[in-house]
A and B are shown apart, each in its own frame.
Chain A
Amino acid sequence: MMLKKIPAALAIAALASFAGSALAQVKVGVIASATGPTALVGIPQKNTVPLLPTKVGDLTVEYISLDDASDSTASVTAVKKLISEQNVDAIIGPSGSPNAMGTIQFVAEAGVPMLAPVGTAAVVLPMTEQKKWVFKTTQNDDIIAKALVDHMTKAGVKTIGLIGTADPYGENWAKVMAGLTEKAGIKIVASEKFQRSDSSVTGQALKILGAKPDAVLVTAPGGPSVLPQTTLFDMGYKGQMYQTHGAALPDFLKLGGKKVEGTILAASLMLVLPEMPDSNPSKKVASEYIAAYEKLHGNKPATFGANVYDAGLLLQQAIPTAAKKAKPGTKEFRAALRDALEQTKELVATQGVYTMTPEDHSGFDERGREMITVKNGNWALLK
């Protein structure tokens, strides 16, 4: 009974996949961490996939979405699967920095351009033969860090304390800050680490308190960025608190409450969209994205979703150029797509304006960030 059904089912499946491939000319794989520790980042990314452009010129684009459960090994498996089974022309993802680092060699081997919506600049810097295939759709840490350090200099901050997560995000920030503060003449008097899952950071906070810095910068992605700040607040720390763009999500305000009032961070304009002048080119794109997302899912997207949306915009712009050189699904098309992505000039997206060069595969300049503060429990533009 069961055995008889299998060939029929196989035939239907084969027909379906044939029909699918005949319709969709360009195939894009999306890997998002919709479950596991990075789910907070991955869920808005996965939810953004239905909003990506499905028709570019006269080509249709098909998206194949996979979940890597925040696990680096699963990301590699997903990448291999997308390349060998689906023969994708490009990949958007994965969500996590360590996950993206692990997949670079495989996309480079197969010659598939990958648009990574991850935080760490290490996926595109320093540029190597393999990283040529990777494009990053978020602000590089140093752009954000530079804005923060500039603000510190202006505010007369002489000493700072750092507290960050013991992962690639925190490590890279510690490195970037060490370089920038030295130039600005600011001294790092304490640099502490904590785990994302820690239920208490009292020890680290005491150490920072003991060093008496003028200001403290917390470098942690997502919800964990709150705990160090509230702990310092409870201990009576009165200096200025800084956060990175990792804290730029509604959870930060919800979990921090009154204790995060007055925090300064540099992040995407999406947080303060209504306050932005209409002259800002990204305002229109970002408003459209937020409206579409809200219509589909009933809530506002976190900036992480916008990074995937931007990847879609980059592809939308690059595919027609590549399609002139070769047919989708071929090695030549993928190489042409990579070249076209690298030549992106002044592309206005949700969080800034992209201008890629062979050396810079992130493409954001200072238009990709705004100075933001927390005022009356809400994000506000820092004036």
Chain B
Amino acid sequence: MKFGILVNEGPYNHQAADTAYQFAKAAIDKGHEIHRVFFYHDGVNNASKLTEPPADDRNIVNRWSKMAEEHGVDLVVCVAAALRRGIVNENLASGFRISGLGQLVESGIQADRLVTFGD
């Protein structure tokens, strides 16, 4: 089955980014396809490569990048929400791309299920 995922909160402040990641990982492990992870609202902060958590904490941004690299998951950051919050190509972590909101609507159309994680 194809899943679309919408992440509406930034990393560390709210558990949404963690739950979304654990869900996506479990889905991939079960043989499902993650059609796209779309980052909206403060969720765009999941894509900042300037993030530096303490060494004993999980690295949320790198975790997403690794998922994109290993499983070809499409990580899309909403351009309007990103510009509002200072996320641009210069500080975008690997595996992420910036695009329009149409990518979210399209994920809703193409995926069998769209699951939202937020506050």
A, B assembled together: no
Residues of A within 8 A of B (CB): none
